[in-house]
Amino acid sequence: MVPSLPRLLVTRKLPDEVEGRLAKSYDARLNCDDHSMADDEIVAAAKGCDGLLITSADNLRTDVIARLPAGVRIVATFSVGHEHINLTAARERGIAVTNTPDVLTDATADIAMLLILGAARGASWGERMIRENRWNSWSPVWPLGHDVSGRRLGIVGLGRIGQALAKRARGFGMELHYYNRREIDPALAHGARYHARLADMLPFCDYLSINCASTPKTRNLIDANTLALLPDGAILVNSARGDIVDDDALLDALKSGKLAAAGLDVFRGEPNIDPRYREIENVFLLPHLGSATLETRTPMGMRAADNLDAFFAGKRPRDLLT
């Protein structure tokens, strides 16, 4: 008798190569139309499943985990971040949780550098000028952006992505600074100067890039008090998580001129972002494109599948969080 395949709920549509692998190895319930599944739908669809493959857009916080069917033994998230999962609640229920580190480092660092360049050079309003047919002459004084080369960049969180950004910024001749929970091996810091306190680093930042994880300690880390410590006319970019930045404080700084511009790929409550961001010109907005390349999303799915395969084979998954 052929043993039955583990039943797996996949909450969003994944790259074809990934779904093909999952369909062969599992009794996979795929989300073919890629609709966003509400909490109740996830709980209902998980009935009879042994595992879930979810994304960062899915909510598996305490109440949802408590309602999952008893048969669910593993949750694999198609992301590095795991703030959308209550790890303590999962651990108490004996549910394993895995993520997908490493494979999206370069793609996300590319986006961080794009945010720096796009915000500095006014890419967003420049494109709108052309699309709205407002470009009617050339002027030596308008519109003007800001140089990136040779300027000072502060990185909040010098993990894998922060290090990859530092490597890219060195190519622009930027002077690098970083704030981290602890100082890292100088060989990995690409010449960046360590600051033990965020407040000590901020006055040295013409550009500030947010690259840390979202945790209870980092949520609203960037608020009115921290922004006030930046040089006037600084530029902030965020490719990490939206809740690290206080929206009211950031919008006030952009409108007052304290900040010259901002570049944002992540938002609090996305995709339902604060509508005020759409109303100002000096912010470069992207719809969470950090890992959004075919060359990255496919390996992310394969990494999640590797973790699932190991778990159901009775082995320890490579990226086990609980």
Active-site amino acid positions = 241, 270, 288
Place of tokens 């001129």: 257
Give the residue from 315, 316, 312 showing the smallest Cα distance to 5. 312
Do 109 and 115 touch, CB atoms closer than 8 A?
no
What's the DSSP call for residue 131?
H
**Chain CA centroid to CA 114, Å:** 14
- Sequence-distant (≥ 6) Cβ neighbours of residue 312 within 8 angstroms: 6, 50, 51, 74
Do 135 and 109 touch, CB atoms closer than 8 A?
no
Q: How buried is residue 192: exposed, middle or buried, by Cβ count under 10 Å (0-12/13-18/19+)?
A: buried
- Sequence-distant (≥ 6) Cβ neighbours of residue 256 within 8 angstroms: none
What distance in Å separates the CA atoms of residue 262 and residue 180, rounded to the nearest whole number?
Answer: 22
